[in-house]
């Protein structure tokens, strides 16, 4: 069947985006832990893949002591190196609406993930704008954090045991889960109905692996980015896109002929990735996250980007090794 869709350019403000999301008719609960199924330990559909239990991917490095004053990073620390370089270099994507996407009116990349980076810059410099954004591919998130080409990655990135072998993750700052986006006139209700159908996800994402492991045996189609998946979907090259509910919500906001279906069938806890070479930076970032969970900054950030989808859930509880 032919579908006619018009991709809507990435909207300029969160308000516009959320208005669009409303227009898309996607009544599904949004990102976050407001749904029982997206809450760790709560029941969801049977996981598509056996989770890797070789580590606790949520457990990060415990912060030590009080945060140093902004502008006074301890000598010899990686934070002092960042202070000397004059900006925090954040690796992220530019096509994940609500989390990190380029605002066409300002040209700036913005969203929940970018604000996570801004809050770290605030803690180092006392200025959230001392941030340089480097746009990286989904398949370059681990290597960019590992080789130091960015100081930190905040990019809808799931903390998992495989990635922990190469990078440190911060404590969890967002709980997502994988769902499915299909055409509004599709009878598909979940990943279980996509056997033999082409389902798109970005190379280097856990989503692609989860599609390949789904019991229904969909045909995984890899693209460089989820923006490319949306184009492929709009051109009828693929039947569905499957990735985190966060990313799908942004896509549904851009395509009034698409909707998000099914309950989350995986858990995708987001952490910021950093090099293992300087663990004090991971501890520092965790101290900033702890402070911002406590003082309401996390909740304000949720409301700013995702508030129109419902009341903010409690921030994810930090776990430490």
Rule CB under 6 A: which residues touch ligand GLU? 138, 156-158, 202, 205-207, 243-244, 247, 268
User: Which residue number, 28 or 243, has a Cβ lying nearer to ligand GLU?
Assistant: 243
Q: What is the DSSP string of 278-313?
A: -HHHHHHHHHHHHHHHHTSHHHHHHHHHHGGGSSPP
User: Which residue number, 60 or 206, has a Cβ lying nearer to ligand GLU?
Assistant: 206
Buried-state track 34-55, b at ≥16 Cβ within 10 A, e below 16: bbebbbeeeebbebbbeeeeee
Q: For residues 78 and 75, give the distance between their C-alpha atoms in angstroms, rounded to a whole number.
A: 9
Q: For residues 40 and 230, give the distance between their C-alpha atoms in angstroms, rounded to a whole number.
A: 28
CB of 261 to ligand GLU, least distance (A): 18
CB of 246 to ligand GLU, least distance (A): 8
Q: For residues 264 and 180, give the distance between their C-alpha atoms in angstroms, rounded to a whole number.
A: 9
CB of 200 to ligand GLU, least distance (A): 12
C-alpha closest to that of 57 among 239, 273, 230, 219: 273
User: Which residue number, 130 or 223, has a Cβ lying nearer to ligand GLU?
Assistant: 223
User: Which residue number, 73 or 153, has a Cβ lying nearer to ligand GLU?
Assistant: 153
Q: What tokens appear for 58 in the block?
A: 């949520």
User: Which residue number, 257 or 270, has a Cβ lying nearer to ligand GLU?
Assistant: 270
User: Which residue number, 156 or 183, has a Cβ lying nearer to ligand GLU?
Assistant: 156
User: Which residue number, 138 or 173, has a Cβ lying nearer to ligand GLU?
Assistant: 138
CB of 170 to ligand GLU, least distance (A): 14
CB of 138 to ligand GLU, least distance (A): 5
Please, what sign has the CA dihedral across residues 25, 31, 34, 40? Answer: positive
CB of 250 to ligand GLU, least distance (A): 12
CB of 132 to ligand GLU, least distance (A): 21
Q: For residues 31 and 38, give the distance between their C-alpha atoms in angstroms, rounded to a whole number.
A: 8
Q: Sort residue 310 into left (φ over 0), alpha (ψ -120 to 50) or beta.
A: left
Give the CB-nearest residue to ligand GLU: 205
Contact 53, 272 (CB under 8 A): no
User: Which residue number, 177 or 313, has a Cβ lying nearer to ligand GLU?
Assistant: 177
CA 23, chain centre distance (Å): 23
Give CA torsion, residues 173, 178, 183, 184, to 10 deg.
-70
CB of 74 to ligand GLU, least distance (A): 31
Q: What is the DSSP string of 227-238?
A: HHHHHHHHTTSS
């Amino acid at each position: 069947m032919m579908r006619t869709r018009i991709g809507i350019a990435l909207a300029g403000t969160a308000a516009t985006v959320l208005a669009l999301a409303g227009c898309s008719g996607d009544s599904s609960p949004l990102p976050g832990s407001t749904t029982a199924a997206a809450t760790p330990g709560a029941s969801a559909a049977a996981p598509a893949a056996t989770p890797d239990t070789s580590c606790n991917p949520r457990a990060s490095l415990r912060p030590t002591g009080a945060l140093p004053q902004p502008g006074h990073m301890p000598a010899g620390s990686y934070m002092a190196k960042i202070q000397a370089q004059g900006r925090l270099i954040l690796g992220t994507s530019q096509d994940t609406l609500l989390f990190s996407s380029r605002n066409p009116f300002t040209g700036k990349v913005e969203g929940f993930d970018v604000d996570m980076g801004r809050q770290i810059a605030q803690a180092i410099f006392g200025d959230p704008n001392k941030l340089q954004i480097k746009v990286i591919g989904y398949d370059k998130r681990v290597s960019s954090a590992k080789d130091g080409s960015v100081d930190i990655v905040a990019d809808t990135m799931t903390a998992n045991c495989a990635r922990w072998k190469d990078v440190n993750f911060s404590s969890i700052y967002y709980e997502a889960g994988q769902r499915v986006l299909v055409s509004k006139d599709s009878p598909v209700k979940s990943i279980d109905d996509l056997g033999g159908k082409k389902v798109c996800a970005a190379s280097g994402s856990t989503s692609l692996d989860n599609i390949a492991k789904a019991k229904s045996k969909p045909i995984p189609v890899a693209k460089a980015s989820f923006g490319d998946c949306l184009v492929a979907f709009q051109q009828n090259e693929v039947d569905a896109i499957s990735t985190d509910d966060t990313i799908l919500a942004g896509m549904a906001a851009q395509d009034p002929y698409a909707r998000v279906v099914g309950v989350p069938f995986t858990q995708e806890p987001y952490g910021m990735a950093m090099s293992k070479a300087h663990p004090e930076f991971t501890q520092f970032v965790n101290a900033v996250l702890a402070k911002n969970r406590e003082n309401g900054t996390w909740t304000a950030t949720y409301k700013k980007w995702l508030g129109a989808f419902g009341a903010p859930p409690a921030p994810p509880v930090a776990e430490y090794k």
